[in-house]
């Protein structure tokens, strides 16, 4: 007994910490499916992107869920927002560069605060060719908890949010890095 | 969850502000407590400043090297202020390399410098935990406990707050250890504060990660964040244990203050 009490393990409690951590890690093993099971759609990384249906600037109907199978860059913007103006040309260039590989860009306009003539003038000025859904009531902005403009969600082909960038303007390289990640490995 | 703070027309990114506040407070505290580790306050403050600066530059350079095609298509992005274009691992490696080089140039053991940096690391750990809370990241598993928080469609363990509480307790422990060191007549061996701090931080992280609802999980069901925390804990514990050996207690020459 005296020998045991004289040992370093008695004087140094660190080994208890390691042992406890080992036991806890083993005890908290989990099924990966169990972690995501029952998760409701939410505007957060690792969750299904909340679905919506809106009318676009050119009168079409766009439902996000129908884009499943393609990675989507979902951008929230308004024509009165300076960083949105700064990043839109890069958004258009990235759309042109990656469109053929299946990347979709959807730029939801905050029409509740942005008169339609201003939206149209903005789209014409920057020559935007991707869909511009109009959020007339602001319900999609609320569902995505958009606190700041611009806000951009990077959604993989399974409809799962992989990255979020709040604020801007985003550098073109960042858009390209994220687009490439979505296209090559599902963004994961 | 509070990703942005709106004050009139101003919209401030809370996670970014927390990191800036952590850097400022952590540097100030490390400078204030540096003499208790036996190092000059101004020198520790300078090393932290230059290491952080180098870390930011290194993080961007690593990002450019990792994704050259994206920067070749948009070269001006190299100078972008987007923090998302920083490679965290590259930043940490560069900052550590510069800190070790500055220590070697002055003839100070890197472990002694690491001891002096512990207050900075302890503050950063707190602000980082609050940063992930502001972003709604690192969320917990659903729970019925009364302190559960409603987040992402369920009442969940407030894992970010668990982490923050532990980090505050660790800072208090660091303060107590430094007070004890100040009262000693002989300086403790280099690493006396750093290794236990790393071990305790890793142990707390392993504990908190067990409640996470967003852990990456290996095919065998192991939570990878717990496993990586465990590896860090074991490495730090071995180094901590070695400090207890009598030979190390006498080995103060290599780690003494300049």
Check if the beta carbon of residue A134 is closer than 8 Å to that of residue A52. no
Cα A74 from Cα A51, distance rounded (Å)? 12
Angle between helices B14-37 and B110-135 (to 10 degrees): 160
A119-122: long-range pairs with CB below 8 Å, 24+: A119/A57, A119/A79, A120/A57, A121/A79, A122/A79, A122/A85, A122/A88
Q: DSSP letters of A130-179?
A: S--BB-SSSHHHHHTT--SSSEEEEE-TTSBEEEEEESSPPPHHHHHHHH
Chain segment B151-197, per-residue pLDDT in tens: 988 999 999 999 999 999 999 999 999 999 888 888 789 999 999 99
Identify the H or E element spanning B132: helix B110-135
Pair A111, A173 in one domain? yes
Number of neighbouring beta carbons within 10 Å of residue A185: 10
* Residues of A with Cβ-Cβ distance to B152 under 8 angstroms: 39-40, 42, 44, 47
Inspect the interface and report whether the beta carbons of A29 and B4 lie closer than 8 Å. no
* Residues of A with Cβ-Cβ distance to B244 under 8 angstroms: 8, 11-12
Q: Flag the least confident range among A3-17, B34-48, B207-221.
A: A3-17
Structurally, chain A folds into a number of domains equal to 2
Nearest to B210 among A28, A45, A47 (CB): A28
The ipTM assigned to this model is 0.86
Inspect the interface and report whether the beta carbons of A17 and B233 lie closer than 8 Å. yes
Q: What letter would DSSP give residue A30? A: -
Inspect the interface and report whether the beta carbons of A17 and B4 lie closer than 8 Å. no
Whose tokens are 């090559």? That residue is: A184
Residue B257 confidence (pLDDT): 42
Cα A25 from Cα B102, distance rounded (Å)? 38
Pair A64, A16 in one domain? no
The candidate with the shortest Cα–Cα distance to A54, out of A103, A101, A119, is A119
CATH of the domain at A173: 3.40.30.10
Inspect the interface and report whether the beta carbons of A174 and B203 lie closer than 8 Å. no
Pair A92, A116 in one domain? yes
Pair A28, A52 in one domain? no
* Residues of A with Cβ-Cβ distance to B59 under 8 angstroms: none
Query: How many angstroms away from the CA of A118 is the closest CA of chain B?
Result: 21
Nearest to A35 among B210, B213, B241 (CB): B213
Number of neighbouring beta carbons within 10 Å of residue A97: 16
- CA A130 to chain CA centroid, Å, is 18
Residue B8 confidence (pLDDT): 74
Chain segment A39-79, per-residue pLDDT in tens: 889 999 999 999 999 999 999 999 999 999 999 999 999 99
Search chain B and give the residue with CA nearest A176. B70
Pair A25, A116 in one domain? no
Pair A65, A124 in one domain? yes
Pair A16, A87 in one domain? no
The number of C-alpha atoms within 13 Å of B67 and in the hemisphere containing its C-beta is: 25
Residues of chain A with a CB closer than 8 angstroms to some CB in chain B? 8, 11-12, 14-15, 17-18, 20-22, 24-25, 27-32, 35, 39-40, 42, 44-47, 90, 97, 147-148, 163, 165-167, 170-174, 176-177, 180
Query: How many angstroms away from the CA of A99 is the closest CA of chain B?
Result: 16
Choose, out of B68, B138, B206, B231, the residue to mutate when testing the contact with A (most A CBs < 10 Å): B206
Residue B246 confidence (pLDDT): 61
Nearest to B221 among A17, A31, A172 (CB): A31
Domain that includes residue A16, residue range: 2-35
Nearest to B217 among A14, A18, A30 (CB): A30
Pair A29, A52 in one domain? no
Cα B156 from Cα B154, distance rounded (Å)? 6
The DSSP bridge pattern shows strands A104-109 and A72-77 to be: parallel
Pair A17, A42 in one domain? no
Query: How many angstroms away from the CA of B249 is the closest CA of chain A?
Result: 15
Which backbone phi and psi does A104 adopt, to 5 degrees?
Answer: -115, 135
Chain segment A83-142, per-residue pLDDT in tens: 999 999 999 999 999 999 999 999 999 999 999 999 999 999 999 999 999 999 999 999
Give the tokens for residue A73: 């860059």
| Beta strand extents in chain B (DSSP E only) | 4-7, 10-13, 149-151, 154-156
Inspect the interface and report whether the beta carbons of A22 and B220 lie closer than 8 Å. no
Which backbone phi and psi does B95 adopt, to 5 degrees?
Answer: -60, -45
């Amino acid at each position: 007994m005296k020998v045991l009490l004289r040992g370093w393990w008695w004087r140094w409690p660190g080994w208890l910490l390691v042992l406890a951590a080992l036991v806890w890690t083993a005890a908290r093993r989990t099924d990966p499916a169990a972690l995501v099971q029952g998760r409701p759609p939410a505007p957060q990384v690792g969750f299904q992107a909340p679905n919506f249906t809106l009318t676009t600037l050119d009168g079409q109907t766009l439902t996000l869920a129908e884009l499943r199978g393609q990675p989507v860059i979902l951008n929230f913007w308004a024509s009165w927002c300076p960083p949105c103006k700064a990043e839109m040309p890069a958004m258009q260039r990235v759309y042109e560069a990656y469109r053929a590989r299946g990347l979709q860009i959807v730029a939801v306009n905050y029409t509740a605060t942005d008169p339609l003539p201003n939206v149209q003038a903005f789209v014409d000025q920057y020559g935007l060719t991707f869909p511009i859904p109009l959020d007339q009531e602001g319900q999609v902005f609320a569902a995505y908890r958009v606190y700041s403009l611009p806000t951009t969600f990077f959604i993989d082909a399974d409809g799962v949010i992989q990255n979020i960038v709040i604020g801007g303007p985003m550098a073109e390289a960042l858009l390209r890095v994220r687009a490439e990640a979505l296209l090559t490995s599902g963004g994961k | 969850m509070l990703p942005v703070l709106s004050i009139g027309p101003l919209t401030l990114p809370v996670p970014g502000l927390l990191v800036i506040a952590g850097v400022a407070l952590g540097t100030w505290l490390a400078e204030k407590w540096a003499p208790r580790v036996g190092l000059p306050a101004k020198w520790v403050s300078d090393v932290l400043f230059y290491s952080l600066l180098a870390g930011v530059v290194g993080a961007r350079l690593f990002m450019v090297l990792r994704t050259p095609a994206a920067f070749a298509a948009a070269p001006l992005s190299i100078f972008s202020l987007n923090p998302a274009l920083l490679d965290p691992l590259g930043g940490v490696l560069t900052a550590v390399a510069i800190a070790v080089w500055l220590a070697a140039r002055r003839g100070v053991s890197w472990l002694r410098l690491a001891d002096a940096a512990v207050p900075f690391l302890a503050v950063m750990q707190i602000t980082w935990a609050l940063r992930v809370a502001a972003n709604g990241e690192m969320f917990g598993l659903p729970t019925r406990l009364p302190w559960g928080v409603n987040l992402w469609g369920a009442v969940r363990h407030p894992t970010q707050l668990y982490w923050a509480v532990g980090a505050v307790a660790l800072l208090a422990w660091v303060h107590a250890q430094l007070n004890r060191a100040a009262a000693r007549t002989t300086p403790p061996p280099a690493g006396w504060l750093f290794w236990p701090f790393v071990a305790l931080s890793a142990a707390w992280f392993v504990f908190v990660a067990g409640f996470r609802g967003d852990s990456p999980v290996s095919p065998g069901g192991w939570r990878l964040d717990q496993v990586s925390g465990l590896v860090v804990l074991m490495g730090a514990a071995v180094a901590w244990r070695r400090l207890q050996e009598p030979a190390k207690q006498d080995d103060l020459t290599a780690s003494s203050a300049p």
